[in-house]
């Protein structure tokens, strides 16, 4: 199983959008400061995820949401979760 996910920084309230095969481990990496792009806004919490049968589809969804570039659009999506 592969996942598209959205994290929210507890401190800065910024969002991070990504995809992975191991969601639990990936969240741990984000919160340990291993992921360069998220280490300055720790800690993170998972606020949304979708599962897919392959990485290609998860990444496709990730890119779709990243293209929105609109916090309000992301927050509308989160309301459905």
Encoding tokens for residue 21? 């095969």
Contacts of 13 (CB under 8 A, 6+ apart): none
Mean per-residue pLDDT, 4-13: 96
CA atoms within 13 A on the CB side of 72: 0
Residue 81 has pLDDT above 80, yes or no: no
Residue 19 has pLDDT above 80, yes or no: yes
Residues in the chain: 81
Residue 65 has pLDDT above 80, yes or no: yes
pLDDT of residue 71: 86
| C-beta of residue 16 within 8 angstroms of C-beta of residue 70 | no
The H-or-E segment that residue 77 falls in is: helix 71-79
* Lowest-confidence pick of 11-20, 44-53, 67-76: 67-76
């Amino acid at each position: 199983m592969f996942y598209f996910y959205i994290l929210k920084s507890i401190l800065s309230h910024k969002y991070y959008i990504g995809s992975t095969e191991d969601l639990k481990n990936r969240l741990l990496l984000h919160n340990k400061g291993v992921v360069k792009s998220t280490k300055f806004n720790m800690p993170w919490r998972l606020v949304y995820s979708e599962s897919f049968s392959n990485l290609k589809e998860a990444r496709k969804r990730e890119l779709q949401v990243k293209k929105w570039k609109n916090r309000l659009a992301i927050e509308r999506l989160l309301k459905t979760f």
